[in-house]
Structures are given as C-alpha cells and as structure tokens.
Structure 1
Amino acid sequence: MISIPAGRVTLSDRRTQRSWTVELRPYRIAVHPVTQTEYELVTGERPSAFRGDALPVESVSWWDAIQFCNARSVREGLTPVYHAHADGEGVDWDTSADGYRLPTEAEWEYACRAGTTGPRYGPLDEIAWYRGNSGERIHDVGGKRPNPWGLYDMLGNVWNWCWDIYDAEVYGSYRVLRGGGWFDEHWSCRASVRRRSHPTFHTDDVGFRVVRSGAD
C-alpha cells in the first residue's frame, strides 16, 4: 500500500451541476485493485467472469467488497471497520478501527489525480485499459503506466466501488463507482466521472481496491 498525505479535493457532479470540497486526513491505498488471487486467499472464492491470478477480481457487489475488507482485517489481526445492521439493510463504519475498508470517493479521486489537475493523470492509452485498446477484455493489474504517486489502474480496467451513497434522495442506497472499465468509452475514464449502482449489483467490469486509515 502507498501512503497518501493529507490534502483537499474538489468533487463535482455533472448531473446536478454541483461541486463540493473535502478535507482529507492521511490514509493508505492499495497499489492496484484487488486481484483474483488476493480475493480467493481471503474468501476462498473466485466469482469473476474472466479467470486469471493477476486479473482484478470482478463480478463482486459492494456488499462482497465490504465483507472482503472485514475478512482480510480479521485474517491480519486488525479491527474490522464495518458492522452490518441486523436487518441486513445497512452498515456502520467504525472510524476508530485500523482494518481494511473501501475508499471514500473523495479519497479515491484525490489518489487518482495524484497532484495533477486535468481529466486524467496521463495520456489515456498509456495509463488505462478501455474500449479503445482493451480488445474488449480485462487485463492483469499493473500493465499500464502508474500515476505520479505509483498507483496502477486508477482509470480503466475495472470500476472501483467506493463507500459513499451516490444520492440518497434520488437513488436510495445506490453506491458510488469510480474510474471506468475495460468496456467503457474514453469519456468514462476520467478522474471526475461518477457512476452509481445498487450495492447488490455485480458485473464483469466492476471491482474494488482497499484503503486503511492513517499514515505508516
């Protein structure tokens, strides 16, 4: 994992024409999305439509990602971050816990931009697998150039689940997805693009990466 310094990021939503600024504390984020090998090591399962040890795990729901984070925390002797409600309809985040969790979308975008200010941290063909160069299939993590902070596949390959609810008033429990995937056109693979989906949704271009609160 790579340590990310405290900072500030401004997010925006094209649908509502709204923007907002978030102050961030230091955190650590995985160098690449969770792979199929990593997921199987923790859960004993390989749910992905494509098969390959170094491929990002996909076809995982937001709930699957939450459960993975807790299971990996327990496996490594850390305090689980998430506590599911008894009715199975919600989850609480223990901000004092030191275990693995999903990034907030502010943490995701701040890490993706890595100090850059444009729509992407480099030329798209050099940094991401998307419809224009993927051959309409997923690829091993780390196959494209990383961003300035050393993070791979922040754009393209698989969308990343984030912790946040997208818009509770309009979309209920739908959660945020970021980053674009191997089947998306170039305009979806930008640092600011927000997508939404139900937390039980899973498909072959959606995965996740993990973070931990605090600095080393």
Structure 2
Amino acid sequence: MVDLHQEFQNSRFFHEARIDRRSADALIGLAAGITADNSINQQEAEFLKGWIETNLNHLADPVVNIVYRRLADMLSDNKLDAEEAAELLAILKQFTGLQLSSAIPFQAPSTLPLNQPPPTLEWSSRAFIFTGVMAFGPRKDCEALVTERGGLIAPGVNKKVNFLVVGSIGNEQWLHSSYGTKIKKAVELRENGSPIAIISEDHWQQAIFG
C-alpha cells in the first residue's frame, strides 16, 4: 500500500508525540514523589535514571535530556554522595516546579534552562527575543530598551539570536507540557553549539538598570 498523503506517517508521529508527552508528564510525577520528603538517596536516583532510559530512551526532549545527563554524570562512579544528592534534589524540584506557590503570583522562572553562569550582555548589533510575561512591562517597551542601546529584535528563535529573555511573572513555561516553543528551540540550538544564551528577566534588568 502506498501512503500517498502520508496519513499513516503523520498519525504515527502524532501518537509518538502524545506518548512522549505522557511519559514526560509521568516523569514529573515521579520526580515530585521522590522529592516529597526533601531528600533523595542512591536507590531513588538509580531508579529514576533507569526509568528515563526505559521510557524516554530517545531523549528527544531537551529539558528531560538536561535532567538525564546531570543524573547520569552523578551516578557515573556508581555512588551518589551527599553533595550530589543535594544538587539532584534541587534540580528535580526545579523540574517539577515544587518551588512555585499559587499563593505567590510573581515567581522567577526555574534556572534549569538558563545559562549558568549568566553571560555578560552586549547590545550593539546583538539580537534579542523575549518570551513569557515581563515584570518590567509590555514586551514592546522591553524591546524599545534593547533597540535604544543598539540591539536588534529577532522575529523568531534562530541561529542568529544572541539572547532569549524569559519573563519573570509566574513563568512556568519551560516545564514539560507547557514550556513554550521559543525556550525549547533555544535549548536545542544551544545544545547544538549555537551561541544563543537563555537568560532571566532579572539578569536582563540588572544589565540595563544596574
């Protein structure tokens, strides 16, 4: 049978994407359960690593990929020491968004996809793009501050973008099932060697206002 309109192919990709989404959502649930007691041990870390390898073995999601690589690095010597356990606990809490509270409407985005350490911002002929809700004000006002300093506003995330600024109001976009395509694309470009930097609005404001 010839699939002239690629209906079977498109359907397969659709179902794969839906399965990936469910698996990643399940990973968030597992991470939340593991970190519920504010501690993580060797057995829990090994279980989580094995679960990711079994259920997300292709690691197509860049944020899940970051979590997995850090987890694999910690267990590369078959021992999770106290310092690694504390770091892993913080990473998984960031991943699940447990540090966010519905009672606090203004929250900085998780640091996981952000460049660490934050880069020094340059303005002249540097391309910026914004995502999320900016505490400073409307996006057009944020863009004006960039252009006033000689910077450029990019129409979309691509290899020519230098800085993606993530707004700080209630921003949980990077979490799987809701983080925006801009952040996902920027992480993928960065993983492939592009010089794009993902920065928080706080870092951006500090560079402007000191």
Give the TM-score range, shorter chain. Answer: under 0.3
Structure in which a larger fraction of residues adopt helix: 2
Q: Tell me the TM-score normalized by structure 1.
A: 0.26
Of structures 1 and 2, the one with the larger relative CO (CA 8 A, separation 6+) is 1
Structure in which a larger fraction of residues adopt strand: 1
